[in-house]
Amino acid sequence: MRAIIISTLSSASFVYLRCNSVATMATKTHRVFVYGTLKRDKPNHFLMSNPENGKSQYIGEARSVDRWPLVIATPFNIPFVLDKKGHGHIIQGELFDIDDEMLKSCDKLEGHPKVYTREHFNVLNMSTGSQDTVWCYLMKNFKDELLNSPMLQKYDREQMNFVVPGERTDSNISSFVKKLN
């Protein structure tokens, strides 16, 4: 029995058809590349694993096809991918399939579209070797001086000393992000 997978990012739909069978399943799904605190075992992954926020399924490791500047900024050591394709490094991260509700939850966490913008992003799925166009959160508006910051290939909380919201003296991220723009 063969399976045919049809995926279109523009309509953000995922259809699975099983040959020689009358059963079909259609589920609204969005594939997203996460490179920072939403990765498994990172401080904001609780959002992805909480069913109250929607559905998510870990797909596997991935890396960007193009070079991008992944920098750590703000006093809280928050990772940002700056919207400057061709600068920086190939970035390592993870792929997840998420539903509409989880996408809304991620948008809220990432401050889309004010802090980060959700953009199409080309990745190499390390499990399958295939290239996919997925969603990724990028910082569009930033000061050029951020391009002089050290650029990373991957985000590792233990090395970066990410400050979780409960440990912050001022939890107003927006004021710090404004300093970056």
The residues that are catalytic are: 110
Residues with Cβ within 8 Å of residue 143, at least 6 apart in sequence: 180, 181
165 token code pair: 């919201």
> Between the CA atoms of 158, 164, 166 and 172, what dihedral angle is there, to the nearest 10 degrees?
150
Three-state secondary-structure class, residue 110: helix
- DSSP assigned state of 19: T
Tokens 């992805």: give the residue.
Answer: 48
Q: Give whole-number Cα distances, 75 to 44, 79, 129, in Å.
A: 17, 11, 37
In whole angstroms, give the CA distance from residue 113 to residue 138. Answer: 10
Q: Report angle CA 76, 82, 87 to the nearest 5 degrees.
A: 125
Tally of CA atoms within 13 A in the half-sphere of 10 that contains its CB: 0
